[in-house]
Amino acid sequence: MTALGAALHHDRTLADDTRALEAFLDRIIPDPRGVAQFVVPFAARRARPPTAYRRDKLMARVRARELSSFLLDPAAKTPDEENLFISVGLQTDTRNYGSCISLALGHAALARLGSQLVLDAVIELADALTPRGGVVFTAETATFAHCLATGTGVGSLTAEQARRTSQVNYVLHWLRDKARGPEWGTFLSPEHVQRLGGPDRVRTSAGCELVRELRNGGMYLQLTVAVPTFDDADHAARLAALASVLASVLLDPSTLP
């Protein structure tokens, strides 16, 4: 059983135009029943309890620039395989790796929506946002996928999962102009593509079964058409090969303090 996670890192002020975000939310959450929203207002002095997800009212608050972020998640005690998490950062943060929009789906939730619909929704959102980087990956659970996407941990993680999540959190602070990843799906910015020799060079050298050019000049690379399991040894080998091809735009761990 494999969960899916994704993260897009961007510098857009989403309040200026919420149409792409609305389209993404509508595709991933066709039925809002049972979905809760937790919002973080700029002026909040203390956390407020979650409320039922209301897309139109939520987007109105985004456009009014009231919120710094929001999280959509399922009702309490939802089985992990049915979990769905969407986290949206709304502050423009150019100091680190931009704001993050993340998604995590348990295997049952993913099967119900269909992996292709989910991938298309993420890629279309990336097309609208011009991300600095981003990844799509598989994980053991939706909870772990959410933690890996955002770099934030929860108490239910295993020791190894907590270690990997902490590593993601640390690396995100140092990526700057580098690409995140690689993972099963990897987003490259226009600058990454040019540093790698241009779209044709990337397409022929990446060894990926799916390559999509984005409207902004960036690219999306997906190692295989089929969703890999989180413990697929062949997938790990292909990731290592892709990392070698993308080495000039990836962060070298040996340079970290």
- Comparing 46 with 70, which gets the higher pLDDT? 70
pLDDT band at 130 (very low <50, low <70, confident <90, very high): confident
Q: How far apart are CA 43 and CA 181, in angstroms?
A: 34
- Taking alpha carbons only, the member of 105, 125, 140 closest to residue 18 is 125
Q: How far apart are CA 191 and CA 216, in angstroms?
A: 10
- pLDDT digit string (tens) for 49-104? 899 999 999 999 999 999 999 999 987 789 999 999 999 998 765 556 678 999 99
Residue type, 91: Q
According to DSSP, the residues that pair with 94 across neighbouring strands are: none
| 3-state secondary structure at position 7 | strand
pLDDT band at 42 (very low <50, low <70, confident <90, very high): confident
Range of the domain at 89: 3-255
Q: Which residue has the tokens 């899916």?
A: 4
Residue 124 pLDDT more than 70? yes
Provide the whole-model pTM.
0.94
pLDDT mean across residues, the chain: 92
Q: How far apart are CA 135 and CA 250, in angstroms?
A: 13
Give φ, ψ of 248 to 5 degrees.
Answer: -70, -15
- pLDDT for 93 equals 59
Q: Above pLDDT 70, what percent of the chain? A: 96
What is the DSSP annotation of 171-215? Answer: HHTT-TTSBP---SEEEE-HHHHHHTT-HHHHHHHS--SEEEE-T
User: Which token pair is 255?
Assistant: 């340079």
- pLDDT digit string (tens) for 200-242? 999 999 999 999 999 999 999 999 999 998 788 889 999 999 9
Q: How many domains does the chain have?
A: 1
- pLDDT for 90 equals 87
Q: Which of 42-51, 130-139, 145-154, 167-176 has the lowest mean pLDDT?
A: 42-51
56: left (phi over 0), alpha (psi -120 to 50) or beta: alpha
- pLDDT for 94 equals 53
